Amino acid sequence: MDEDAGGASPPPVPLAQAPPPQHPIAVAAAATATAAAPSQRDMAASPTSSRSVTETVNGSHRFVIQGYSLAKGMGVGKHIASETFTVGGYQWAVYFYPDGKNPEDNSVYVSVFIALASDGTDVRALFELTLLDQSGKGKHKVHSHFDRSLESGPYTLKYRGSMWGYKRFFRRTALEASDFLKDDCLKINCTVGVVVSTIDYSRPHSIHVPDSDIGYDFGSLLDSQEGVDVILNVGGERFHAHKLVLAARSHVFRSQLFDDESDGEKSEVNETDELKEFSIDDMEPTVFKAMLHFIYRDTLVDDNELGASSSDGSIFDTLAAKLLAAADKYHLPRLRLLCESYLCKGISVASVASTLALADRHRAMELKAVCLKFSAENLSGT
Domains contained in the chain, CATH given: 52-196 (2.60.210.10), 214-259+275-299 (3.30.710.10), 304-381 (3.30.710.10)
pTM greater than the 0.85 cutoff: no
pLDDT single digits (tens) 331-380 = 999 999 999 999 998 898 889 999 999 999 999 999 999 999 889 888 76
In degrees rounded to 5, what are phi and psi of residue 87?
-140, 130
Q: What is the pLDDT of residue 266?
A: 46
Specify whether the CB–CB gap between 165 and 112 falls below 8 A.
yes
Taking each helix axis from N to C terminus, what angle separates 365-378 and 352-361, rounded to the nearest 10 degrees? 150
Query: How many alpha carbons lie under 13 Å from residue 164 in its C-beta half-sphere?
Result: 24
**Which of 9-23, 112-126, 158-172 is least confident?**
9-23
Cα(292)–Cα(284) distance, rounded to whole angstroms?
Answer: 12
Q: What is the mean pLDDT of residues 92-121?
A: 93
Taking every pair of Cα atoms in the chain, the longest distance, rounded to a whole number of angstroms, is: 143
Phi, psi (degrees; rounded to nearest 5) at 30:
-65, -40
Above 60 in pLDDT, residue 13? no
The pLDDT, as a whole number, for residue 10 is 47
Stretch among 39-43, 46-50, 54-58 having the lowest mean pLDDT: 39-43
Mean pLDDT computed over every residue of the chain: 84
User: Kindly report the CA angle at 284 between 279 and 290, in degrees rounded to 5?
Assistant: 100
> Which of 10-24, 79-93, 97-111, 218-232 is least confident?
10-24
Taking Cα atoms as reference points, which of 312, 322, 321 lies closest to residue 343? Answer: 321
| Among candidate residues 192, 245, 288, the one with its CA nearest the CA of residue 253 | 245
pLDDT of residue 44: 61
Give backbone dihedrals phi and psi of 111, rounded to 5 degrees, phi first. -120, 145
At 177, phi and psi to the nearest 5? -105, 5
pLDDT given for residue 207 in this prediction: 83
Q: Other CB atoms closer than 10 Å to residue 178's CB: what's the count?
A: 17
DSSP 317-347: GSHHHHHHHHHHHTT-HHHHHHHHHHHHTT-
Q: Considering the chain, what percentage of its residues have pLDDT values greater than 90?
A: 61
Paired strand residues for 110: 170
Predicted confidence (pLDDT) at residue 194 exceeds the cutoff of 90? yes
Mean pLDDT of 82-108: 93
Q: What is the DSSP letter of 154?
A: -
Q: Among candidates 175, 190, 181, which has minimal Cα distance to 142?
A: 190
Confidence of residue 37 (pLDDT cuts 50, 70, 90): low
* Cβ atoms < 10 Å from Cβ of 276: 13
pLDDT category, 259, cuts 50, 70, 90? Answer: confident
- Residue 149's pLDDT is what? 63
- Measured distance between the N- and C-terminal CA atoms of the chain, rounded to whole angstroms: 143
The pLDDT of residue 205 is above 80:
no
188 pLDDT more than 70: yes
Using the predicted structure, report yes or no on whether residue 222 has a pLDDT greater than 90.
Answer: yes
Digit-coded pLDDT (tens) for 133-167: 998 888 999 988 887 766 778 899 999 999 999 99
Which range has the worst mean pLDDT, 240-244, 300-304, 377-381?
Answer: 377-381
How many Å apart are CA 219 and CA 296, to the nearest integer? Answer: 5
Q: What is the Cα–Cα distance from 298 to 341, expressed in whole angstroms?
A: 15
Task: Count Cβ neighbours within 10 Å for each residue of 278-312 and write b for 16 or more, e otherwise.
Answer: bbbeebebbbbbbbbbbbbbbebbeeebbeebeee
Q: What span, in angstroms and rounded, lies between the C-alpha atoms of 141 and 134?
A: 11
- Is residue 93 within 8 A of residue 115, CB to CB? The reply is yes
Measured distance CA(103)–CA(72) in Å, rounded:
15
What average pLDDT does the segment 271-281 reach? 77
More confident residue, 19 or 116: 116
With bands split at pLDDT 50, 70 and 90, how would you rate the model's confidence at 226? very high
pLDDT band at 28 (very low <50, low <70, confident <90, very high): very low
User: What pLDDT shows up at residue 230?
Assistant: 95
Greatest mean pLDDT among 100-109, 201-210, 257-266: 100-109
Distances (CA, A) of 151 to 24, 147, 158, 165, 194: 77, 9, 21, 17, 17
The backbone region for 285, taken as left when phi is positive above 0, alpha when psi lies in -120 to 50, beta otherwise, is alpha
